[in-house]
Amino acid sequence: MSATERADGKSVPPGAGNDRTPRRSGSSRRRRTPRRTPRRTVTRTGQYAALLGYLAFLAFPFLWLLSTAFKPPRELGSLHPTWIPEAPTLDNFRQAFAQQPLAAAAGNSLLAAAVSALLAILLATPMAYVLARVRNRLSRAATGWVVISQAFPLVLVIIPLFLILKGLHLVDSRIGLIMVYVVWSLPFALWMLTGYVRAVPQELEEAAAMDGAGRLRTLVSVTAPLLAPGIVATALFAFITAWNEFFFALVLLKSPEKQTLPVVLTHFLGAEGVADLGPLAAAALLATLPSLLLFAAIQRRITGGMLAGAVKS
C-alpha cells in the first residue's frame, strides 16, 4: 500500500488521516448515584424531625387559639380539654363585638400600621441606596448605629419619647403614634433594604448613567423596580410590627376611641386578672387573621427572584 502525498510534497502513511479515537456518547456515560450511608440517613432524618418540631411549635398556639374561639363555656371549663370542639359555636365572636369596640380598634390599628409602613419605606429606600453605594467612614458609622439602635429596650426610650411628644402636643394622638412607629421601624427597614440594594449589580446603574440618567432617575427607574421584592418584604415586616405593637400604644393613647386592637384585647381581662377566655380567644383570632392573610397574598413577591428579567439576553 503506497503512501499518499500531501500538497506540500510530504508523504502521509496510509490511514493516518482517518485514525480518530472513538468518543463515548452521552448515553453510554453512567452517572453513579451517591450511596446513602447510615450516617447521612440519620442526619437527614434528624433535620426533618427538627423541622417538623419547629413547625409544630409555631402552629400549636394558633391551632389552640382557633379551637378555643369556637368552644362553648362548658367545654372551656372542662378538666379534659379537646382539640376539636364537640359543640362549636359563634357566641364567643358575638360576645367579643358586644363587649368591646373591636371594629373601631381594628380601624385604628390598620391606619397606624399602613401609614407607618408606607412612610418607613419612603424614607428608608433612598437612605438605603446612599448607605449601599457610598462607602466612607460616615456611611459605616451610620450602618453601625442602625444595628446598635435595635438593641435599645422599649423601657429605656419610652420616657424621653413621651416627653418629646408631650412638648409637641402629640400625646394621645394618632399622628404621634404613627411617628413613633415610623421611627421605631425605620432602622430595621433601612438595614434590610441596604442588603437588597447591594445585591443589585452596579453595571445596570452605570449603563443608565451613560444614557444620561441622574442619581434620582436611576433610583426611580432602574434600582427601585429591582427592589420590589425587598420593598414588599420590608413593608410587610413594618406593617406586622406596627399591627402587633402594644407598649407604645398603651402609654401614648388614653382615649378609648383612639386605642389600637392589642390594647383593646387587654380589656377582656377582669379586675382580678381573670380572662373571659372565649371572647378573648375569638378577638385574638380576628386580630391574627389580617397578618396571615396579608402574608399569604404577597408571599410570591417575597420569594420571587429580585433580578428576574432585569437583563435581556
pLDDT in tens, 21-50: 455 544 445 555 556 577 788 788 888 889
Decide: helix, strand or coil at residue 172: coil
For residue 122, count CB atoms less than 10 angstroms from its CB and return exposed for 0-12, middle for 13-18, buried for 19 or more.
exposed
Report how far apart, in Å, the C-alpha atoms of 84 and of each of 64, 76, 92 are: 9, 12, 16
Give the DSSP letter of residue 273.
Answer: S
Average pLDDT of 142-161? 78
Hey, what's the torsion of the CAs at 278, 279, 283, 288, to 10 degrees? 0
Q: How many residues does the chain have?
A: 313
Q: Each residue of 270-285: pLDDT tens digit?
A: 666 677 888 988 999 9
Backbone angles phi, psi at 19, to 5 degrees: -80, 95
Dist. CA 52–CA 56, nearest whole Å: 6
Q: Each residue of 80-117: pLDDT tens digit?
A: 878 888 888 899 999 999 999 999 999 999 999 999 99
pLDDT of residue 310: 40
| Predicted TM-score (pTM) of this structure | 0.75
pLDDT of residue 290: 84
Helix ranges, 172-276 (H): 174-199, 202-210, 215-218, 224-226, 228-244, 247-252, 261-265
How far is CA 313 from its chain centroid?
A: 31
Average pLDDT of 200-214? 80
pLDDT of residue 109: 94
